[in-house]
Amino acid sequence: MKTYLQAQDLWNAVENDADPPLLRANPTIAQIRQHSEGRAKKHKAMACLQNGVSDVIFTRIMTSDSPKQAWERLNEKFMGSEKTRQQQLINLRRDFENLKMKEAETVKQYSDKIMATINSIRLFGEEFSESRVVEKVITTLPERFESKISSLEDSRDLTTISLSELVNSLYALEQRRANSKVKCSWLVDSGCSHHMATDEILFKELDRSFTSRIRIGNGSLIEAKGRGNVVINTDSGNKLISNVLYVPDIDQNLLSVVPMADKCFMLDVSQLEKKAYTNLVDIAGLWHMRLGHANFRIDCLFQSIRHGELEKGLS
């Protein structure tokens, strides 16, 4: 209502209850017009107030002698007395300080709840900076957003980030997790030296400052781009696995046997399916690898021995 009155250039008539000054003797046409407009503004402002309320509220202001008096009655009706307003403001401040995102809440639900409280506080005329709201959101998020906040802290100054930018970033992460088709399957591997995960979403906590290079089975090197903790759902409940490397380039999540044994995890292989495979390795090539020969000619020599060509040359 205040904004509408300001847009119609009528708010002055509400704030100032005084009538326009009386016309002096022999006024000009411009002075007469200005005086008439000043008197008309009070009536226009009163009409706006009366037409902008319901019939029930209209009965509270119908006997008002001026738009200022009508506004004060409306203010008392909806905002209460000064003491009441102060108490309401204290309660809203307390509600804001106690706000914390619940595990079952979405980013949109939580941001809407925060903004509803802040807008209620602003109705009482209290200033509320955006940086304070951003700080509140960051410090009250559940642990599942810690990796994202850490990533934002590393990439930019959080004191300059806007609320909409922060909420959109968190919402995008939430949507990726909801729509993710990543299968959280793990392969227990006795050959790898560390636990490794392929997707950032799996991490409950992730330290991106950690980097390392890992040699895989084919001899090539791949990069670990972080280290953190992962919660794995097992038949006996959720298990927290620490020191898991974030390796985006591997094809399968790997659980290393040695670190699990050190943590007293039991490895039960009695239920594993037994399989046997035919050996396809050539005998000469196998011995070539066992002896560690660097020169491929040795393999040719083995081939000659096998076919008796060397014996013919010596005889």
Query: Do 1 and 49 meet the contact criterion of CB atoms below 8 Å apart?
Result: yes
More confident residue, 133 or 69: 133
- pLDDT at residue 302 tops 70: no
- pLDDT at residue 13 tops 60: yes
pLDDT at 148: 79
Mean pLDDT, range 197-214, rounded to an integer: 86
pLDDT band at 269 (very low <50, low <70, confident <90, very high): low
What is the torsion angle, in degrees rounded to the nearest 10, for the CA atoms of residue 90, residue 91, residue 96 and residue 99? 150
pLDDT at 95: 92
Range with the poorest average pLDDT among 126-130, 164-168, 227-231: 126-130
Phi, psi of 54 (to 5 degrees): -75, 170
Give the C-alpha separation, 49 to 144, whole Å: 50
pLDDT band at 41 (very low <50, low <70, confident <90, very high): confident
Q: Which CATH superfamily is domain 186-262 in?
A: Acid Proteases (2.40.70.10)
- pLDDT at residue 279 tops 70: no
Start-to-end C-alpha separation, the chain: 116
Give the C-alpha separation, 261 to 257, whole Å: 6
* Per-domain residue ranges of the chain: 2-79, 97-179, 186-262
pLDDT at 110: 92
Tokens for 101, please give them.
């995102």
Give the C-alpha separation, 115 to 183, whole Å: 36
Tokens for 109, please give them.
């639900």
Alpha helices in 159-274 (DSSP H): 163-179, 257-262
- pLDDT at residue 135 tops 50: yes
Give the C-alpha separation, 314 to 272, whole Å: 54
pLDDT band at 29 (very low <50, low <70, confident <90, very high): confident
Tokens for 55, please give them.
């019939």
- The structure's pTM equals 0.43
pLDDT band at 130 (very low <50, low <70, confident <90, very high): confident
- pLDDT at residue 1 tops 80: no
Range with the poorest average pLDDT among 29-43, 266-280, 298-312: 298-312
Task: DSSP for 184-199, please give it.
Answer: --EEEESS-SSEEES-
- pLDDT at residue 313 tops 50: no
Give the C-alpha separation, 108 to 270, whole Å: 48
Mean pLDDT, range 259-269, rounded to an integer: 72
More confident residue, 164 or 54: 164
Chain segment 55-112, per-residue pLDDT in tens: 878 877 887 877 887 877 777 777 666 777 788 888 999 999 999 998 888 888 999 9
